[in-house]
């Protein structure tokens, strides 16, 4: 069965550690990972200094051509409106019934876009999102990762929980295998390795 690619947003100051588990395991499961920049395919530099050559721009991205849009955190989410086009793209994806996953600062961008007003969600801490002036404070959940209405959210310290929700949503792992994957990478449970590889 042919699968649509997973699209990973890339921009300067992207937090390298937040999406690696998700993208690596999706790729191992047969998903093509394509990187998307705002308006140029010039190199972007992550917060860790890695240089990434984007595959396409937001203008070229269509929800119907994607399995998922992943929005990593980045310093730029909190220093201006440079990344607002990614939040608007997330709205288009959700409106089209295509899931979105946002972690760390990307959750604040989605809050500013109004996408967390009517969905259960999480982030670093509740007051971080409250500072955006959004109207969804009562829907905030103090959890590692939350999925609601096709939107996955997580805080910056939870890349493994974030990946678990993504892998489960896209069927890379299910049931006992998904639980084992999480126990192995989150809890360092050696017994989980045997279950995962059985």
Residue 190 falls in the annotated catalytic set: no
| Furthest C-alpha separation in the chain | 48
Catalytic residue among 70, 104, 151, 160: 104
Tokens of 7: 């699209």
Taking the C-alpha atoms of residue 111 and residue 133, their distance in angstroms, rounded to an integer, is 8
Listed in sequence order, the residues at least 6 apart from 174 whose beta carbon sits closer than 8 Å to its beta carbon are: 168
Taking the C-alpha atoms of residue 180 and residue 192, their distance in angstroms, rounded to an integer, is 5
Extended beta strands in 38-116, E state = 44-45, 51-52, 56-57, 68-71, 100-103
Residue 31: half-sphere exposure toward Cβ, Cα within 13 Å: 26
Listed in sequence order, the residues at least 6 apart from 105 whose beta carbon sits closer than 8 Å to its beta carbon are: 15, 73, 74, 75, 76, 77, 78, 156
Taking the C-alpha atoms of residue 121 and residue 144, their distance in angstroms, rounded to an integer, is 10
SS3 138: helix
- Residues identified as active-site: 104
């Amino acid at each position: 069965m042919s699968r649509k690619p997973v699209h990973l947003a890339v921009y300067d100051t992207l937090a390298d550690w937040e999406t690696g588990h998700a993208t690596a395991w999706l790729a191992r499961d047969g998903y093509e990972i394509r990187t998307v920049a705002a308006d140029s395919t010039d190199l972007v530099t992550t917060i860790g200094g890695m240089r990434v050559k984007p595959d396409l721009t937001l203008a070229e991205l269509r929800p119907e051509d994607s399995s998922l849009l992943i929005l990593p955190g980045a310093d730029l989410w909190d220093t201006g409106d440079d990344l607002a086009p990614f939040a608007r793209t997330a709205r288009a994806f959700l409106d089209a019934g295509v899931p979105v996953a946002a972690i760390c600062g990307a959750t604040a961008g989605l809050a500013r876009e109004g996408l967390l007003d009517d969905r259960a969600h999480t982030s670093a801490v509740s007051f971080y999102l409250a500072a955006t002036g959004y109207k969804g404070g009562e829907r905030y959940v103090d959890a590692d990762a939350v999925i609601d209405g096709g939107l996955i959210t997580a805080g910056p310290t939870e890349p493994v929980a974030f990946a678990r929700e993504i892998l489960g949503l896209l069927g890379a792992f299910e049931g006992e295998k998904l639980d084992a994957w999480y126990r192995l990478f989150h809890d360092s449970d050696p017994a989980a390795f045997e279950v995962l590889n059985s």
